[in-house]
Chain A
Amino acid sequence: MKKILVLVLLMIASLNILNAQNDQTNIMTDSTPLPGMRGKPINLPDVSAIGNIVGYTSDNKKDKNRNDLLLNEVETAFQGYVYPDVRADIILAIHKHDEEYESEICEAKINFQNLGYGFSGEAGKIHIDFGKVNKLHTHHLPFTDRPLVLNKFLGEHELAGQGATLKYLIPIFPFYSQIQAGFWKINAHHHAHTETKVRDIDGSTVTVEALIHDDTAFSPADKVYNFRWNSSFNLGNKKELEIGFSGLKGRGAHYEEHKDNVEVAGADITFKWFPSSYEKWTFQNEWIHLKREVPVGKLNRDGFYSFINYRANKYWDYGLRFDYSENAFPKISYERALSAIITKHLTETTYWRFTAKHRNIDGKKVTEGWFQLSFGIGPHSHELE
């Protein structure tokens, strides 16, 4: 009998201990892990995926992409800390390019967040910090398509290079001011090839690959150097002014053929006002000048965009963007566009967006409509942008 009683008492005691332990489990015993440490208990990085579905329509009946609804891009991210203050981000993307899906290392970088004395640095394959938009990933943009001037002067995708950048937060000013400089090796984007038959020197017929020149695409490439200075001023009463200047020097993407040296300069100014908890006004402007030196002379081209956006509440954004850009080629062309953009946010990384865009390309008028659905799964984070 005693044994049974002892056994029962032991059981009750052990149950109490177990319950007590269960009570303890909800007490926060340590600091909340940072983004990049979500897989901490099993030493895994944060893993996330972002999909971008885009539907497109146009009144240009010759446009072969007209009335398509396609998965434009899938971005997968692996993010984590490798050392105190050293974070690694590997972002892989499968995106549509020239009618085909291509996989690409979007960014693979190591970020030294604190090198001491106000310095930080990044190395690897990185979106180059030029202006306000180039650094941003597709899902982070406040519009469906990138501004014209970026497509014309920096290429159709984010300009990304392999190299390193050093950033310095200037301590002597009472306002935020950062300078940075980087050096990069940028590979030209692949372009479509075709097969053609030619007569060989011995008279036989052979098949060779020929490059299809895409005269609408231009981007800086090869060895590229860049700098950026950006500052931010708190104007009080929930208003903020951000100003930036960017520069870039390199070669054209097809230097072997065009022998072109390239310099790009940019200036951006953004005003933000937060009238209430959710409301936000943004007025963002970016101007870019391209100087392209080819053997026959120098091309000087300009472009800019102006974007005004009103976030009415937690869920809705309304924006208007005006684009103007010249092209990057010897025969100059002009394009203007006006876009109206409505975005409904479901979560931080999931939203849908409608864009209506009216384009004027050297007098030829085209109206386009876009539907975008961007969705995210898993913990996904970017540094301050």
Chain B
Amino acid sequence: MKKFFLFVGLFFASSFLNAKINIVTASMDLKSIAEFVGGDKVSVESISEGAQDLHFVEPRPSMVMKIKKADMVLKIGLDLDMWMDSLISASRNKKVGYGEVGFVDCSKGIERLEVPQGKIDGSMGDIHLYGNPHYWLDPLNGKIIAKNILDGLIRISPENKDYFKKNYDDFCKKIDEKMKIWQAQMEKLSGKSIITYHRSWSYFAKRFNLKVPIEIEPKPGIPPNPSHILKIIDTIKKENIKIILVDNFYPLKAVNKIASDTGVKVVVVPSNVGGEKDVKDYFELFDYIISKLTKE
């Protein structure tokens, strides 16, 4: 009988000791980075899927249960994933509440672009109060995201600090190595103008020295109208623009019309990990985008 209790006790103790840190992320990109930093000590789930417009994720009760069981949540922040707030609130999981140990806003430390100045209202379109939230599309911001995740993991599991720190260092090293390759590949587009559907690519464009003189959307979140399409066609001709870059969930009707009128190349790419089946992690996301952009 004693042996039985000893066995049961050991079983529970070992399962407790081997328990992984449950992380729930707003996006697949954060999931990928969390897996790099957390290694085999974390189990990560994303609320959104790869080919999903992160502005339009509908929070559902079944998602609440993921957060209920989480030790840590990773938010994109900058008002892109406000749907996470209602899920966190509904989960009643104190550990991951705003400002708690398991709450990580990955936008902390990001140098934001397009922060609106002065009065903000609907006439400006779907503008984000705290600036453009698509910051993960600059690979170097991946290091800031990873640092936020590292800090969160150390808060939760200080005994594994060295392990997480090593993973973080490896991740940053790999980013630096890949950046050299990506920069070399993007060199031929450096200084050139492209058109994007939404302002999703501002951070990417800044990092790789691309100019975006106009977007397909006249204002963020506002669909293109005929006069704006004419303006785009005019800009393409004047500035000799060769590429329209579109996230793979946006409608292509207006884009194809512009392409057929001007001969511009339409490059449709995922803006999140998992948006295409070949894009399984954060590095493959940029491999994919850059290979598509630079393909002749």
Encode contact with B along A345-385: 1 for CB under 8 Å, 0 otherwise: 00100100000000000000000000000000100011110
Residue of B62, B103, B105, B109 with most chain A CB atoms under a 10 A cut-off: B62
In A275-323, which residues have CB < 8 Å from any B CB? 276-278, 280, 313-315
Spot the interface stretch: A102-110, A199-207, A232-240, A261-269. Answer: A232-240
In B126-146, which residues have CB < 8 Å from any A CB? 126, 129-131
**Interchain CB contact under 8 A, A277 and B92:** no
**Interchain CB contact under 8 A, B122 and A350:** yes
* B59 CB-CB contact with A under 8 Å: yes
Encode contact with B along A242-278: 1 for CB under 8 Å, 0 otherwise: 1000000000000000000000000000001010111
State the Cβ distance, B47 to closest chain A Cβ, in Å.
Answer: 12
**Interchain CB contact under 8 A, B77 and A242:** no
* B191 CB-CB contact with A under 8 Å: no
**Interchain CB contact under 8 A, B129 and A38:** yes
* B172 CB-CB contact with A under 8 Å: no
Q: How many residues of B contact A (CB 8 A)?
A: 49
In the complex, what distance in Å separates the CA atom of A115 from the CA atom of B62? 21
Among A114, A174, A240, A384, which residue has its beta carbon within 8 angstroms of that of B94?
A114
In the complex, what distance in Å separates the CA atom of A151 from the CA atom of B58? 28
In the complex, what distance in Å separates the CA atom of A238 from the CA atom of B85? 21
In the complex, what distance in Å separates the CA atom of A277 from the CA atom of B246? 14
In the complex, what distance in Å separates the CA atom of A233 from the CA atom of B75? 24
State the Cβ distance, B106 to closest chain A Cβ, in Å.
Answer: 10
In the complex, what distance in Å separates the CA atom of A77 from the CA atom of B172? 45
State the Cβ distance, A349 to closest chain B Cβ, in Å.
Answer: 9
Encode contact with B along A24-39: 1 for CB under 8 Å, 0 otherwise: 0111111110110010
Q: For A315, what are the chain B residues with a Cβ–Cβ distance below 8 Å?
A: 223
Main secondary structure of the interface of A (DSSP, over half): loop
* B27 CB-CB contact with A under 8 Å: no
Spot the interface stretch: A116-124, A210-218, A219-227, A329-337. Answer: A116-124
* A175 CB-CB contact with B under 8 Å: yes
A378: nearest residue on chain B (CB-CB)? B121
State the Cβ distance, A245 to closest chain B Cβ, in Å.
Answer: 15
Main secondary structure of the interface of B (DSSP, over half): loop
Q: For A84, what are the chain B residues with a Cβ–Cβ distance below 8 Å?
A: 97, 99
**Interchain CB contact under 8 A, B52 and A27:** no
**Interchain CB contact under 8 A, A26 and B92:** no
State the Cβ distance, B8 to closest chain A Cβ, in Å.
Answer: 21
Q: For B131, what are the chain A residues with a Cβ–Cβ distance below 8 Å?
A: 26, 28
**Interchain CB contact under 8 A, B105 and A32:** yes
In the complex, what distance in Å separates the CA atom of A347 from the CA atom of B130? 18
Closest 10 CB pairs of A and B: A232-B61, A31-B105, A234-B62, A277-B249, A32-B77, A176-B61, A384-B86, A384-B90, A26-B112, A114-B92
Beyond A27-B110, A35-B85, A113-B89: 17 further Cβ-contacts under 8 Å? Answer: A26-B112, A28-B77, A28-B108, A30-B108, A31-B105, A32-B107, A38-B129, A85-B94, A85-B97, A116-B94, A169-B64, A176-B61, A232-B64, A242-B61, A277-B249, A350-B122, A377-B122
Q: List 27 A-B contacts (CB under 8 A).
A: A26-B131, A27-B110, A28-B110, A30-B108, A31-B75, A31-B77, A31-B98, A32-B77, A32-B79, A35-B82, A84-B99, A113-B89, A114-B92, A176-B61, A176-B65, A232-B61, A232-B64, A242-B61, A276-B51, A277-B56, A278-B249, A313-B251, A347-B126, A381-B85, A383-B86, A384-B59, A384-B64
